[in-house]
Amino acid sequence: MPATTENQGSFLGRISIRRNQVMSMDGTHDQEMEDLELFQKHVGDRFSELLSTTTEDSSGDALLSISWLRRLLDELLCIEAEFKAVVLMGRDPSQIAKPPLDKLLPEFLDRFVKSLDLCNAVALGLDAVKNLQRLAEIVVEALEVTPLGDGQVRRAKKALSALIAAMLHEDNANAKGTERNRSFGRRTNNSGSNSKDRVRALSWTMARNWSASKQIHAMMSNLTAPRGAESSGLAQPVYIMSTVLMFVMWAFVAAVPCQERNGLGTHFPLPRQLNWAQPLIGLQEKIAEEWKKKEKKGNVGLLEEMQRMEKLAQSLVEFADSFQFPPETERLDEMKRNVEDLAEICKKMDQGLEPMQQQIREVFHRIVRSRAEFLVVLDQAGKLSAPAV
């Protein structure tokens, strides 16, 4: 079991025990501060591990590879569970409705809603990656034939042309494809359901003018680090959770094909003076640097497997364009190495894309449930503060 998972179990258990104990107000405050500090430390440790174990090649968890992104989703789910424990578990609802949370929580819940849209956009993007995988598999199947003849090369060249065209124009293709109704929400025929139920039932299709980058920038709106006394209260974990959620959505939009991503490389503000934010800043700078390299010439996304697939496809196109039977031994050996590498990428996609979509689905439903829990607590707080009639 990973150390972070063990730490989370002990952390959640510790908060549960404390909130069920009867303590003096002074003791409660001191332990509350300790819980907040521990939560911040856990966030920093999780992203430090993601940053420190990121490799420069495909032999390990390369930045924005399928395996790395799956780890990122796991960390998001763990941080979200700890966040709810700190802010909600065993807490008097009246505490949630006090300033500054009375203003911060509605903005936070609005970010939750925006992230649901982004989850669906990412799911559509992963469908597009699967289409690229299928084209690459056709190339591998055609060029693995021995002896290699003109017919196999023509078949591979056709698939390669479609693959490269899809990679160059996937942003536009994805925009056209978003008219499909791809939803993780539960469907309902009850048109009279209230607003809480509608969040579960919305189809979350992307409109033609929907923009992933604008959605990310909208999540940044009004997001500022707590200052003064607020930095030692519940405003801090709300800010941390908002920042982590925004970073994860930003990273996924950069990695996979998503509709309209102009300006995505713009840095969002992170407080450099806070220890938990340092590894996030390091990851953000690495991803933004890669995005700027690719943005000018157009790119399907920064997913590491797609970047390698694109390079291999270009090399195989050159082979197919100049193919003559019988092929030169040296060129044939180079082609076989490229095909082996392409087959390995297809294998990683085959093993990792579907589980990643399941994780995205889990994130979607976790956000829906958490939003509903906060709304219930806010509703309870409203009733407690209402004047008796």
Tens digit of each residue's pLDDT (9 = 90 or more) over 145-179: 999 999 999 999 999 999 999 988 654 444 444 34
Give residue 360's pLDDT band: very low, low, confident or very high (50, 70, 90).
very high
| Structural domain contains residue 2 | no
The whole-number pLDDT of residue 9 equals: 57
Angle ∠(138,322,333) on CA atoms, nearest 5: 65
| Structural domain contains residue 316 | yes
pTM reported for the whole predicted model: 0.86
> How large is the average pLDDT for residues 330-337?
95
Pick from 384, 369, 357: nearest CA to 88 = 369
The whole-number pLDDT of residue 91 equals: 86
Give per-residue pLDDT as tens, 214-262.
999 999 988 999 998 888 899 999 999 999 999 999 999 999 999 888 8
- The torsion angles phi and psi of 217, rounded to 5 degrees, stand at -65, -35
| Structural domain contains residue 329 | yes
284 in Cβ contact with 236 (< 8 Å): no
Give per-residue pLDDT as tens, 27-63.
467 788 899 999 999 999 999 999 998 877 666 789 9
Residue 15: HSE in the Cβ half-sphere, 13 Å Cα cutoff: 24
Most confident of 11-15, 159-163, 207-211, 227-231: 159-163
Burial label, 95 (beta-carbon count in 10 A; 0-12, 13-18, 19+): middle
Structural domain for 238, as ranges: 9-15+29-385
> How large is the average pLDDT for residues 93-117?
93
Q: Return d(Cα 336, Cα 106) in angstroms, integer.
A: 57
The whole-number pLDDT of residue 7 equals: 59
Is 182's pLDDT higher than 60? Answer: no
Q: Return d(Cα 354, Cα 359) in angstroms, integer.
A: 9
The whole-number pLDDT of residue 4 equals: 57
Number of domains in the chain: 1
The whole-number pLDDT of residue 177 equals: 41
The whole-number pLDDT of residue 181 equals: 42
| Structural domain contains residue 20 | no
| Structural domain contains residue 47 | yes
Is 130's pLDDT higher than 80? Answer: yes
| Structural domain contains residue 22 | no
The whole-number pLDDT of residue 27 equals: 47
| Structural domain contains residue 109 | yes
* Tokens standing for residue 365: 């439903």
Q: Return d(Cα 233, Cα 226) in angstroms, integer.
A: 9
In this predicted model, which residue has the larger pLDDT, 290 or 182? 290
| Structural domain contains residue 211 | yes
Most confident of 160-169, 194-203, 285-294, 365-374: 365-374
Pick from 182, 230, 219, 224: nearest CA to 203 = 182
